[in-house]
Structure 1
Amino acid sequence: MPEKKTASSHHYNIAQLRVESWNKLKAESTKLQSSNRGSVDEKDHKQNLEKLLREIEGVESYFAFPGLNRLAALKEMLGRQEHTAMAHRIADITKHLVSESYRGSVDFSDEDESGGELSDMSDSKNGTGKSYFEVLVLDDISAQEESKLRHDLKDLRVPNDQFNYEIVVQRSVQDAMIALLFNYNIQAVVIRYAPPYQSKKITPLIKPFIQNVLKLDLSSMPRTDLGPILGGLIRKFRPELDTYYVTDTSLSNLKDSTLKSFRRIFYRAEDLQELHLTMLRGISERYETPFFSAVKEYSKKPTGIFHAMPISRGNSVFKSRWINDFGNFYGRNMFLAETSSTTGGMDSLLQPTGSLKKAQKMASDAYGSQKTFFVTNGTSTANKIVVQALVKPGDVILIDRDCHKSHHYGLVLAGAYPVYLDSYPIEEYSMYGAVPLQQIKEKLLKLKEAGRLDLVKMLLLTNCTFDGLVYNVEKVMEEILAIKPDMIFLWDEAWFAFAGFTYNYKQRTGMFVAQKLYSKYRSRSYREEYEVHIKGLKKDEVPKLPDPDKVKIRVYSTQSTHKTLSSFRQGSMIHIWDEDFRRKSENTFMEAYMTHTSTSPNYQMLASLDAGRRQVQFEGYELVEKSIEMAMVLRAKINDHPRLNKYFDVLTVSDFIPKKHRESGLSEYYSQKDGWNRMETAWEKDEFVLDPTKITLHIGRTGVDGDTFKNKYLMDKFNIQINKTSRNTVLFMTNIGTTRGSVTYLTNALLKIADELDHEFRSLSVKESKIRQDKIYSLTKDFPPLPDFSYFHHSFQAVPGVPGGNIREAFFLAYNEENYEYIPMKECLPSMEKGRTLVASSFIIPYPPGFPVLVPGQVVSEEIIRFLLALDVSEIHGYREDLGLRIFKDKVLNRQKTATSIGGMANRMNKKVINES
């Protein structure tokens, strides 16, 4: 039977429920305060308050603020009928909770914890501006012991401590896991001795939010093992946290896995002060930003400038009579930190030895890679670095045709032969989905059958896509490695840099899966699983598990830090998890990195990458969860509001992903009737999932195409900026910078647009109304079919009849204007009907969507021409409307055919000689 929906089903997460509960408590206490003593109203409001306080207690027990003592004090005030004082206290707590001022400007004194008002830290002995965090302590202790522990730790604090913290005590492993799931403030975990597993305080209100915790049953495990097991789980789910273990088990009896799971292990006899200092030290080390700090220190030094860059120190700007407004706009610090020097702590990006080297190592730890490299010209450059580093002329790459154009140009530079993979079409919304795993395997098996599997070097896929489609990375890698165990994977995660900081998303990232599979394939249990799998295969059945004796984990991810995290524009990173990196790839990678990286990198950009790393280690989990929450709030608002859903539809899972790729059966994240559907199972099992922070709005019923809607309504009227449109959709994205205010502003703008459309529709004449209805029909029912990639002309095929094309040769052949000609688009179909084969000599990239429909050397199909003719986009890169489509001349193709045949024969002869030798 389906699970019964509860009141909490209409809240996406516990944060929503928590804030709404306190606001209800505030409203109810205000009503009680104004009720007449002894009246029916007073009795009703008092009962409501008692119920709300009981419900809130089941949530607040996982947070240090406001804390159970304050809730107890509120109950006592209610019992004493101190209604006015209680209402004032609830309003005070709610204010600090909603504004989050308690995280930086509030003093937790002993008196406050007993229920008193909170005081501003600026008036306290602790000073101002201290970052606040919470420490989760797991220990089955009494209330008296908890109080003593709390006060003993407080006594150890000194005024010059850099950070301020409170503890939140949980008495079971389940409760500790719930606290880690709910509480964004937790930055350190202390597991003491042998805690029990089962929780005694889970309420029905929180059950919908803790299904992952309830699914994991460790009740049969010995209590002495639960502490180390939880330490391992924390490393998996929230690896950014510092974990500590207090035990009586002797060092000789501690398992290696236990030693690796904790930052430090303490014994009962050791001083509590050591634990306190170690926790602060752990936070301090993560807080460090080596390069950003070096830039700040450099800006403070008095220097004489006798190197390049007149702008350094701002001398050429602030002395100017004509551009001093430029200096005033950006501020003096920007110029004080500008230099071309690579000494004095600033370090060199091309050969780092100091602060940059350390910053990249800290980024590697944060993102879960073996190595991380900073890139200062965006992920376009990062992509070209990786491709050039790993493939050479003649190598074969399986590549998503819809990937970013930088990959296509990277293939031209590297001279690799692309085998293009087609994503499934979503014709109703004029966009493509993602590449089904079955198609990738079919292409790979064709190459194997043709004897070219040894030349295949890389599988290149975009994860997630611009529209939010996310691959099942583990399944893709495992089944591809079963066919080719040394395959290199390049995951273009330009729009997915944030994904490593919350578990649902993390399990579909390249770095997380690389580490997971590396450990899995080296385990005894996997070897046994593999042997059973191989024995169970039918004749000619392709294995789905890789051979543990042959498999190599080689994974690269490129990320646009600036797109979804905090970095200046063009700040990107390359993350590497390659067990053969040092032996096979390090030298070529560094050559490619030198080739594409400026010798004058932007230091401000590098400093922002360093600072962005600090942010995600401390608040990445919180900010990513909040960005998802903002997306869900917006989805619900548009779905539920009658004036908005009259014109707009939020596309959901079933609109983007065919049913056969959704094993979980999840079709939507939210419905007005049932509330929120949990997405954990889908993210664990389905071949594709939809990132909810990518909100695609179908606007067909407005009668306005996507490009016009973007410019005429969103930009011109409300200055709302978006990246992508299609014929009948616009794409909104939430990120870690999205606020409730910005969601409210967008909602208000859509309401005003809906009102304007109402007015416009009412004012149309009969003829105008007919034109508008035809446009609506065109945008909602009459959509052009999306063409698949055709194929490379035989002149540019690596081997005739086998997937793979020589895009580099076709690209450079077009450098000679004698080799190509232009043909008007409207003349293409008649020419093809007469039997002429048209072959593209350039990239043709409609924008939007921004990926090639034609690449050099590709045969032009009728479907592609009809698609281009039906497009109503503002620009098509590589196409000149005044001249037409640029294609190769027939005589060039005939000449190429002969050259290719000779070259192919020579290649086959060389291969034969190599094989015989």
Structure 2
Amino acid sequence: MIKAKTKTTPYYNIGQLRVDYWNKLKIVTAELARCHSGSANEKKHISDTKSLLNDLKGVAVYYATPGLARIQKLENALSKHEFVSLAYLVSETTKQLVGDSYRSNPEFLNFDEHNIESVEEHDQFNTVRKNHFEVLFVDNMSMEEENELKKSFRSLHVPQDKFTYGIVVQRSFQDAMIALLFNHNIQAVVVRYAPPYHSKLITPLIKPYIQQITKLDFSSKPDTELGPLIGDLIKQFRPELDAYYVTDTALGDLKDSTIKSFRRIFYQTEDIQELHLTIMRGIGERYNTPFFSALVEYSQKPTGVFHAMPISRGNSVFKSRWINDFGDFYGRNMFLAETSATTGGLDSLLQPTGPLKKAQEMARDAYGSQHTYFVTNGTSTANKIVMQALVQPGDVVLIDRDCHKSHHYGLVLSGAYPVYLDSYPIEEYSMYGAVPLGQIKNKLLQLKAAGRLKKVKMLLLTNCTFDGLVYNVERVIEEVLAIKPDMIFLWDEAWFAFASFGTNYKQRTGMFTANKLYEKYKSNAYKKQYSAYTKSLDINDVSIMPNPDEVRIRVYATQSTHKTLSSFRQGSMIHIWDEDFRRKSEETFLEAYMTHTSTSPNYQMLASLDVGRRQVQLEGFELVEKSIELAMVLRAKINDNPQLSKYFDILTVQDFIPTNYRQTGFKEYYTKAEGWNRMEDAWEGDEFVLDPTKITLYIGRTGVDGDTFKNKYLMDKFNIQINKTSRNTVLFMTNIGTTRGSITYLTNALLRIADELDEEFKSLNTKEKEILQKRIHSLTKEVPPLPDFSYFHQSFQAVPGVPGGNIRAAYFLAYEEENYEYVPLNKCLKVMEEGKTLVASTFVIPYPPGFPVLVPGQVVSEEIINFLTVLDVSEIHGYRADLGLRVFKDNVLNRHKTITSMGAMGMNKLNKNSKNKKIKN
């Protein structure tokens, strides 16, 4: 077990530090401007200003705007004692930086670089310019050469350009990598000449935020190899960026790996205009939205509508006296884009050949998959598509019992036999964690011992879970493939669509891991490592390394784009990285896709998926980082405020993840005493980690249960919407749409709730206080047990005594009313004590948490009844309190058991006869 002391920092990330230091500088320089000349206060503020400028210089060097030129301008004003001018420049810079408006008007911040003197020139630079980005040049050039470079590229811009860019130059390998980590404005990288390895710019202030860079060790490599190496590492840290290489090396001497690492390679003698045009074209290609653009163009065409859909072009709406308010609300463009046509520049979702096909290919490239498909009726349907495409009746699927109900219904449709896996319980907060790898492997080994491993087709896990538990995807895939080398993995990433665009996150996604492992297993280095490893194994040891000669990488991920990225509701995607897709699965996948996909998909939803892809490719890195930052800010606000911490706690990593699944010893993201803990090592090594954008607020001490807190306080009083509660928690989530104002509003609401609770508690009489204390005791101490999956009744077991159940047979057996009966919940335990076995005939799904505690064919256990009895949730799907629990009748179970046994015997006899016949032939 690896234990590491976690380093702490006063700021979560460099962006938070940068903004805070500019704000500090604004306050200090404003005070300085008001000081009397020669006073002690003036001397103190001058000293403070120098210190802050020096700190900011160590950060600004990694940005083009506001860059070193602005810091030097401020230092110059300070040295000349031009304090009023200094304060003004700092104030304007801070305002632009904090408000993000500098990227619409980037030249304003750095107009001092361009020797602007006239009012006309200033007004020209002060014109609003959209879509500004930065280009990183890696080149150990002089300052004179840098200024000349910037001037040359600036001269190539023309007023018709859609985009503008600034240039930031880094002179070493380490500084280039730090810039990629810090600067989310960078959209392209140009590597020129051979950079030295070590940085001369790293200051103590930024050291805590660059551990991912400083722990890289390529210092022994010659400088000539560092440039191409940057191209490789960009794919790891910022794969969405365009990378270019400028060299003098002859084409015949360039390595294939170098050629593949860069979008294009230039030679030093080539004109920089070609490089400029290539940079602009690269951004233009990512900016392109094939289907959205086609839909916009179509909507502007004058047409005569003689196909279905009266609502098309808004004709049935705007001419109506009774529903024209509907048209006014949505606007004309919504209806102009409504059509059932698949021609005229549009496309068919079921068999795309035009803009939709191109849009899906661009999404494929953005997410690092081999194939990506748009889904217009949510990830529930995406899950059923994948399940039906890959498994058939009789196949075995290892599945997280706590996964979304769509997977369970997918099993019914496909006829596969589920082997349910139990997540570890978090009983104190009435929720489940995730499935330990050890349990998955144990189930596989049981199936192997029973001769059933060949029937195992898929492992299905939810990553991340609703509450934010994230698997170590690489470790799970590797150790499972070591037992079952052709296993198909379905990762339900409904809540994880954003993860491909976060530095820490992407390593725990299905597509990134599939790419990584495919390259790893085909390398000679891995083959040598595997050979040496297998020689060290004892005969009874279970390998944790897959055999490179047998292993197949087959990974699928379903994502709710609408949940965490920009898309209309129900907009989802299926991503595929399957080296056997073309040979084994493509035809069945397309059949399943057509089975579940509407022939009349919503074009606005498809367009939103196209635009959502554009957004994450161009600003996903920044937006994901900001959503994490805001989640961390909320944690600090609640933990640091004595009024809030009186009633509320933010649950920490150690609250969610037991010690044995945290190999690094990482416990929590933030403490008031120590500040922020760096999470990089935990995300790289621990079996489970906690997604910081999922913020679980413990409310047990309020005496109010989660559902009441959600409705009575958050919704009714403050119109704050949340998705999930438990008995004593509520879950808040930040996303790329969360703003600082939203965090402030939530904090204010919680403060007002805390004040209201203060007043309410003070007004209670003695008896009322006793009742309150009982409620608090119940919510904090009397936690209901969380039941595991029991087992399938022998009538519905795939093979007696072996994990796996025939959920499909049980599901359809309950279609006939005479096959089931109802038992009141309060009588179930008594009936069971009398010797009757209760077997569920339907899914029973309490909401929350929203996953089945019973599935058709499952034996009802005492723990499950106790759990259902003490549940205080608003709804339980599949259960009616007035009727009771719906279970199979005994005579039906006995009859079905006999039929099942005879069917199994018949199948065995048939298989035996077929085998003998084959041998004779």
TM-score class, shorter: over 0.9
Partner Cα distance (2:863, 2:56) in 1: 60
1:907 deviates by 2.5
Gaps of 5+ in 1: none
- In the alignment, which residue of structure 1 is the partner of 2:572? 572
Partner of 1:418: 418
1:417, distance to aligned residue in structure 2 (A):
0.4
Q: Distance in 2 between matches of 1:624 and 1:174?
A: 24
1:76 corresponds to: 76
CA separation of 1:369 and 1:175: change in aligned 2, threshold 3 A = same
Q: Is the 8 Å Cα contact of residues 345 and 355 (structure 2) preserved in structure 1?
A: yes
Deviations 1:375-407 (A, max 9, x none): 000000000000000000111000000000000
- Identity of aligned pairs, percent? 72
Pairwise CA distance, 1:106: 4.0
Cα deviation per residue 1:442-469 (whole Å; 9 max; x = unaligned)?
A: 1111111111111110000000000000
CA distance in 2, matches of 1:588, 1:651: 44
Q: Which amino acid aligns with 1:799?
A: V
The residue that corresponds to 1:606 in the other structure is 606
Contact 2:651 2:696 in 1 (8 A): yes
The 5 Å alignment of 1:160-199 reads: 160-199=160-199
Task: Give the drift of 1:497.
Answer: 0.2
Aligned pair in 2 of structure 1 residues 798, 168: CA closer, same or farther (>3 Å)? Answer: same
Kept in 2, the 8 Å contact 1:790–1:858? The answer is yes
Q: Give SS of 1:434's match.
A: coil
Q: Write out aligned runs for 1:313-324 (5 A).
A: 313-324=313-324
Give the Å deviation of 1:107.
Answer: 3.1
Change (3 A) 1:572 1:175: same
Q: Distance in 2 between matches of 1:184 and 1:664?
A: 29
Tell me the SS of whatever aligns to 1:858.
coil
**For the residues of structure 1 that align with 2:180 and 2:429, how far apart are their CA atoms?**
40
Aligned counterparts of 1:3 and 1:550: Cα–Cα separation in 2 = 40
Cα distance change of structure 1 residues 704 and 117 upon mapping to structure 2, 3 Å threshold: farther
1:33-89 CA distance string (max 9 Å, x none): 100001100000001101111010000010111121121111111111111111111
Residue correspondence of structure 1 range 496-895 to structure 2 within 5 A: 496-895=496-895
| CA drift at 1:157 | 1.0
| Counterpart position of 1:202 | 202
Alignment-derived partner of residue 36 in structure 2: 36
Code of the residue aligned with 1:715 in structure 2: it is M
Q: 2:455 is matched with which residue?
A: 455
Secondary structure at 1:803 match in 2: strand
Distance in 1 separating the partners of 2:488 and 2:118: 56
CA distance in 2, matches of 1:225, 1:543: 36
CA contact (8 A) 1:648 1:701 kept: yes
Q: Is the 8 A contact 1:70 1:115 kept in 2?
A: no
| 1:643 aligned counterpart, secondary structure | helix
- How far apart, in 1, do the equivalents of 2:639 and 2:286 lie? 41
Question: Normalising by the residue count of structure 1, what TM-score does the alignment of the two structures yield?
Answer: 0.98
Query: Match for 2:52: what amino acid?
Result: L
Corresponding position of 1:326: 326
Q: Which moved more, 1:57-66 or 1:904-913?
A: 904-913
> 2: distance between equivalents of 1:177 and 1:193?
16
CA separation in 2, counterparts of 1:730 and 1:473?
Answer: 27
Cα gap change, 1:787 to 1:109, in 2 (>3 Å)? closer
Distance 2:395 2:457 in 1: 6
Instruction: Look up the match of 2:284.
Output: 284
Checking the alignment, whether the CA contact within 8 Å between 1:401 and 1:852 is kept in structure 2 is yes
Q: Distance in 1 between matches of 2:717 and 2:274?
A: 59
Q: Deviations over 1:258-304 (max 9, x none)?
A: 00000000111000111101100000011000000000000110000
Cα distance change on mapping 1:88 and 1:484 into 2, 3 Å:
same
Question: Which runs of 5 or more residues in structure 2 are unaligned?
Answer: none
Q: Deviations over 1:362-384 (max 9, x none)?
A: 00000000000000000000000
Farther-moved stretch of structure 1 (748-757 vs 896-905): 896-905
Offset of residue 905 of structure 1: 1.3
d(CA) in 1 for partners of 2:254, 2:650: 53
Distance 2:432 2:183 in 1: 38
1:60 aligns with 2:60: yes
How far does residue 100 in structure 1 lie from its aligned partner after superposition? 1.3
Change beyond 3 A, Cα 1:810–1:165: same
SS at match of 2:199: coil
Residues of 1 paired with 2:110 and 2:442: CA distance? 67
Question: Partner of 1:222 in structure 2?
Answer: 222
C-alpha spacing 1:81/1:555, structure 2 compared with 1 (3 Å)? same
Letter in 2 for 1:386: V
Question: Per-residue deviation at 1:909?
Answer: 2.5
1:132 is matched by which residue type in structure 2?
A: H
Q: Tell me if the contact between 1:342 and 1:348 (Cα under 8 Å) persists in the aligned partners.
A: yes
> Cα offset for 1:173?
0.7
| Equivalent pair of 2:395/2:416 in contact (CA under 8 Å) | yes
* Conserved 8 A contact 1:74-1:115: no
Contact 1:372 1:573 in 2 (8 A): yes
Q: Deviations over 1:785-823 (max 9, x none)?
A: 100000000000011100000000000000000000011
* Residue in 2 that maps onto 1:335: 335
Within 5 Å, give how 1:329-368 maps onto structure 2: 329-368=329-368
Question: Which letter maps to 2:296?
Answer: K
- Distance of aligned partners of 1:106 and 1:59 in 2 relative to their CA distance in 1, 3 Å threshold: closer
Pair 1:690–1:329, CA change in 2 (3 A): same
1:661-706 CA-to-partner distances (Å, cap 9, x unmatched) read 0001001111001101111101111110000100001100000000
Deviations 1:329-357 (A, max 9, x none): 00000000110000011100000000000
Contact 2:57–2:71 under 8 Å retained in 1? yes
- What is the deviation of 1:121? 11
CA–CA separation in structure 1 for the residues paired with 2:340 and 2:714: 41
**Measured at CA, do residues 151 and 114 of structure 1 come closer, stay the same or move farther in structure 2, by a change above 3 Å?**
closer
Over the residues paired in the alignment, what is the CA RMSD in angstroms? 1.5
Map of 1:406 onto structure 2: 406
Q: CA deviation at 1:3?
A: 7.1
- Rounded to whole Å, the distance in 2 between the matches of 1:389 and 1:118 is 67
Q: SS where residue 309 of structure 1 aligns?
A: coil
Deviation at 1:129, TM superposition (A): 4.5
Please report the TM-score for the alignment, with normalisation by the length of structure 2.
Answer: 0.98
Aligned length: 915
2:381 aligns with 381
Cα distance in structure 1, aligned partners of 2:792 and 2:911: 23
Work out the CA distance in 2 between the residues paired with 1:547 and 1:132: 48
Question: What's the secondary structure of 2:618's corresponding residue?
Answer: helix
CA distance in 2, matches of 1:215, 1:824: 61
Distance in 1 between residues matched to 2:395 and 2:6, nearest whole Å: 55
Residue 490 of structure 1 aligns to a residue in which SS? strand
